[in-house]
Homo-oligomer: A and B are copies of this chain.
């Protein structure tokens, strides 16, 4: 008789993936051991394998969850009837919010994806380049429309994306400014900095 997946199976797995994201973020993928993860979840290391296939599968899940979220957003955005500058601002705001609400997964996806194994490694790498190319395309359009200073689009994308991942320390900051303030601070620095 085939085993039927209960809801408990699903949520148990989700707990493991979430804990893995935290652990990978804190220690890095290689330095985080399955025994660490098991301890955090409250089981023996061997028991994890009733819910997952491998350590690399955990990394895969985190990376592609994040990637899919960003792709869904940029697909929607490109189809929307807004101005180029509005699209760029929306893209920046989405990245900031993802970092605020979801920073562990986002950081793991950003920093640890190189530890993926093939064919997922190439796949992820290509998606990443595609996304950045589309982002740069929007900035190029803004330059062409003379709404944005004459800056190099792909460099700007790199700078902006890395700047946003930089706010991870904000989470641990003692005298925290609010998420709203943070977002406005960043948009000021970038969008105003780019505008003609």
Contact = CB atoms under 8 A, between A and B. Distances in A.
Interface residues of A, number: 36
Contact of A155 (B159, B167, B193): B167
A165 B162 contact: yes
Contacts of A114: 28
28 contacts: A28-B28, A28-B114, A28-B115, A30-B31, A31-B115, A111-B111, A149-B188, A151-B185, A151-B188, A152-B181, A154-B173, A155-B170, A155-B177, A158-B166, A158-B167, A158-B169, A158-B170, A159-B163, A159-B164, A159-B166, A159-B186, A161-B166, A162-B162, A162-B166, A163-B163, A189-B190, A189-B194, A193-B193
